[in-house]
Amino acid sequence: MSGDIDTLTLSAEEAARLLEAHELSGAELFTAYREAIDERDPELHAYLAVCDDPGGHGVPIAVKDVIGTKGVATTAGSKILESYVPVYDATVIARCKAYGLRVLGKTNTDEFAMGSSTENSAFGPTRNPWDPSRVPGGSGGGSAAAVAAGLAPWALGSDTGGSIKQPAALCGNVGLRPTYGTVSRYGVVAFASSLDQVGPVARNVRDCALLYSIISGRDDNDSTTVDVPPVELPAAGDLRGVRIGVPRELNDAEGIEPGVRASVAKALEVAESLGASIEECSLPRSVDYGLACYYLIAPAEASSNLARYDGVRYGLRTSGDDFRSMVMASRHDGLGDEPKRRIMLGTYALSSGYYDAYYGKAQQVRTVIKREHDDAFARFDVLVSPTSPTVAFPIGAKADNPLAMYLSDLLTIPSCMAGLPGLNVPCGLSEGLPVGLQLVGPQFSENTLFRTAHALELALGFDPVPARYRT
Ligand code: GLN
């Protein structure tokens, strides 16, 4: 029976319907994904670990390996956590399980979610299912690749500065970075706490909305969370009355590939034909200062969060003559180049004498970015731009140049800094590779993003199955 299930095209919603109608057993469905993983993952390396069928009748799900799973190693893509097995589930996992979802496995990530290509994983890169010589984006390249290649119907990712949205763009998925504070961070390996958010990665917008409804909402274990408005699953519709703003700086930024521009322009024409009003606008400082501001705040918070990996509390320990040398040796051996780079940047930015000039200043700039977005949302419901300036790039192309890699997030970072929700919806192909459209809304506007993206996805008719897997 499992041989008849085409995991490449099955949505989570359809899988749930088949289970409910008893056309499929939970075991058959789980096995179908496990077989797909056995077949295609040796090439892609989307998974760091696969799980045995926990039983039950729910839809399977893949989980980025920064999210704590009770009894299942949670490495954050780092050697220092290679042997770390959480004794509790992250709240998002507890909620998925309470809904009946079954964890298929843990997906690859840049170490501590620091990266834009998944090449920073201590366990080797993930490959893009559309073209295995290319990256799947990052840091959540494993989740995005797993969903694109039919190795999971949907997945959880985490996004600090674009790690759900950008891999979704490069792999042709729908990915939501939710409003900051709507999804619990309890049990999630912390990178930059004022930015980190868990969110859904899916094949289509309805699945994305459903998964968001499962994981979101107030959690007593994370005091930054709030109750969210009821999630509406989008139904077919037009875009009449939707006011779309097109921020000049996000759409004309240097480095946006012509093929990306063309797909986004076409999506805007389609939006207009569906009844949306489209108007250019400006976020004058968000793009100029967004990256610089992010690369002060995120490393500063990371340097503090990563101080806990000391060889005592978690994972790897390298012995040393005394306590201090043990800690140094453990961190030396356990952490890769990118976390080390960020710990150095972050501790410098936070050091006394520099704190106000760097971290303090960056916080002020962050407020400016937030206000610019607030002003734009006085006139618009949704702001659109490319998600990534480029399609998936070749493995190795930017690996030796951190600054070039950081530019991958030029367009995703400003709204993250402002705490706003952003959704990637695939809008076409360029050079045979997916192009993603980023929709950004005001805080708690997820339903508007779902509705807009769903209308667009129906009208655009993007086929999320990578061409090389189509029969
Ligand atoms: N690529 C960005 C970084 O390297 C964002 C990562 C993320 O969102 N986790 O920090």
49 lies in some domain: yes
Ligand 1 centroid to residue 93 C-alpha, Å: 22
Confidence grade of residue 1 (pLDDT, cut at 50, 70, 90)? very low
Q: How many domains does the chain have?
A: 1
In sequence order, which residues have a C-beta less than 8 Å from that of residue 257 and are 6 or more positions away?
A: 389, 390, 391, 430
Which is more confidently placed, 237 or 148? 148
What secondary structure letter does DSSP report for 217? S
Mean pLDDT of 154-166: 98
Ligand 1 centroid to residue 257 C-alpha, Å: 21
344 lies in some domain: no
Is 0.85 topped by the overall pTM? yes
- Could you give the CA distance from residue 109 to residue 106 in angstroms, rounded to a whole number? 9
Give pLDDT, residue 85.
96
Is the pLDDT at 2 greater than 60? The verdict is no
Active-site residue (options: 163, 184, 388, 408) = 163
- The CA distances from residue 345 to 21, 186, 188, 342, in Å, are 55, 26, 23, 5
Spell out the SS3 assignment of 18-55: HHHCCCCCHHHHHHHHHHHHHHHHHHHCCEEEECCCCC
214 lies in some domain: yes
Is the pLDDT at 425 greater than 50? The verdict is yes
269 lies in some domain: yes
Please state which of the ranges 178-182, 220-224, 357-361, 439-443 shows the lowest mean pLDDT.
357-361
Contact 41, 143 (CB under 8 A): no
Is the pLDDT at 343 greater than 80? The verdict is yes
82 lies in some domain: yes
- Is 277 assigned a catalytic role? no
336 lies in some domain: no
Mean pLDDT of 242-263: 96
The predicted-structure confidence for 98-149, as pLDDT tens digits, reads as follows 999 999 999 999 999 999 999 999 999 999 999 999 999 999 999 999 999 9
The percentage of the chain sitting over the pLDDT mark of 90, rounded to a whole number, equals 96
The predicted-structure confidence for 208-231, as pLDDT tens digits, reads as follows 999 999 999 999 999 999 999 999
Is the pLDDT at 26 greater than 70? The verdict is yes
309 lies in some domain: no
- Is 2 assigned a catalytic role? no
Ligand 1 neighbourhood includes 162 CB (under 6 angstroms): yes
Domain CATH code at residue 174: 3.90.1300.10
Is the pLDDT at 179 greater than 90? The verdict is yes
Q: What is the Rg, in whole angstroms, of the alpha carbon atoms belonging to the chain?
A: 21
Q: Which of 164, 406, 409 to mutate to test the pocket of ligand 1 (most atoms within 8 A of CB)?
A: 409
438 lies in some domain: yes
Contact 179, 231 (CB under 8 A): no
Which residues form the domain of 178?
Answer: 2-222+236-285+366-469
Give pLDDT, residue 3.
54
